[in-house]
Amino acid sequence: MNRAASAPHSAMSEPDGRRRRGQDNKARIVAAMLAMVREGDLAPGAEQVAARADVGLRTVFRHFQDMDSLYREISASIERELALVIARPFKAQTWRERLIEMVARRAAGFEKVLPLQQAASASRHRSRFLAADHSRRVKLSREVILRQLPREVAADRALVDALDLLLSVEAWSRLRIEQGLSPKAARETLTAAVGRLIG
């Protein structure tokens, strides 16, 4: 009787076990890709990801039909990191002070995602997802800036374009990578530039 009772339970738990293993493998694959990118491998292949995650190559493609699917998962985890920085209410009262505060916030967030930004830039030309994701982030970044500006200031297109550039991840990447500035020096440079721009 006990044997008969245990059979249905075993049959029901087997799919749950497979589902859990699948979820674990997917998490390991995403973690492996993120770790490799942070370590400087801008375009790890599926074989490298599989080896790092200690799963079979077929397992990688079972969870992710192509590398764009994997980048979607990585992008989602990065957005969660950035949201913790961006979502906080501003402490500053005036729009000028809020823009200066925005420099510090974005510097912290961009520094966290800089390796992924480099990887995305390196692969954007061959990835529709990365190209579309980049366009979306650029648009969102500009909208966040515009929300802090008085109407008459937001009407100054040249000023907004300059702020959009200075407060972009591309500007942060240029200062940190090509110009070799430390995070502190890069933040101070952008703070000075934005401060002079807005008076």
Residues 19-37 pLDDT 10s: 787 788 888 888 888 888 8
Sign of the CA dihedral 60, 66, 72, 78?
A: positive
Q: Which of 50, 65, 80 is the last residue of a domain?
A: 65
Distance CA(50)–CA(64), nearest Å, equals 12
Whether residue 48 sits in one domain with residue 106: no
Whether residue 198 sits in one domain with residue 105: yes
pTM over 0.85: no
What's the total number of domains in the chain?
Answer: 2
- Range(s) of the domain holding residue 156: 91-199
Binning pLDDT at 50, 70 and 90, where does residue 13 land? low
Distance CA(45)–CA(191), nearest Å, equals 38
Q: Which residue has the tokens 């950035």?
A: 82
156: helix, coil or strand? coil
**Residue 77 lies inside a defined structural domain of this protein:** no
Mean pLDDT throughout 41-51?
A: 84
Whether residue 199 sits in one domain with residue 101: yes
**Model confidence pLDDT, tens digit, residues 85-114:** 777 888 999 999 999 999 999 999 999 888
CB 187, CB 104: distance < 8 Å: yes
Whether residue 59 sits in one domain with residue 135: no
Residue 156: CB partners within 8 Å, gap ≥ 6? none
Whether residue 146 sits in one domain with residue 100: yes
